[in-house]
Amino acid sequence: MNRRWYRIWIAALAILLIALAGGAWWCGRTNPHLKSLVSYDPITGCDDDEIRRRELEAAGPNAVPFLREQLRREPSLAMRGLTWLDSKGVVAWIHDWVSGSLADSIGNRLQNLNMTRFLAARSLLVLGPAAAAARPELTMRATGAGSPLSCSATAALASLTPEDPSTVSNYLVRLAGNNQSERFFLVRDFPLIWPKAPPHLHVLME
């Protein structure tokens, strides 16, 4: 009986945290163009950068403030609670013993925050120098190595001043690192920043 009540208590706690975490998650929910910029839903999201560019144009001057807000967003208390449950193996236990759909819902919530930040940085990368106001937020998220968010923020930072030799140099330093995941993302984003060979590249390569 005690084991049964323990399972019920854990499931109730998880449901409560999901409800709290799901408050007003999408600040851009009233503007479909803003929402699409940070959505990874195959229907409402941007499948490629050309679509993302069109959505940015449609969103107009509201795009950069909205994307900066997404990058600043920190996990709520409820999200931190869900992260703690996951780190303790509770989510996997819920999947096996309580409800697979509930566990999947928790997993989606945990993925949502990092994916939202990543797509916000990606949208700012597509904007290039026009996203200069987002430099503080991009700098904050460019820390760390190898994560998609860190790499996307690094590329977006480079796109703000692509003609600056120090920008080229710093990007190449990270590109030459040993982290395979980071190199993959930085190589992928290189043509978005420099469609042609970066200025001063021949000097840096000597």
Tell me which residue of 192, 186, 204 sits closest to 129, measured CA to CA.
192
pTM of the model: 0.73
Hey, what amino acid is at 64?
A: V
Which residues are CB-contacts of 199 (< 8 A; sequence separation ≥ 6)? Answer: 163, 165, 168
Average pLDDT over the chain, rounded to whole? 80
pLDDT above 90 as % of the chain: 27
- Is the pLDDT at 206 greater than 80, yes or no? no
What pLDDT is stored for residue 127 in this prediction? 94
Give pLDDT tens digits for 133-157: 999 999 999 987 668 899 999 999 9
- pLDDT band at 125; cut points 50, 70, 90: very high
- Is the pLDDT at 204 greater than 80, yes or no? no
| Signed CA dihedral, 104, 95, 16, 21: sign only | negative
- Is the pLDDT at 42 greater than 80, yes or no? no
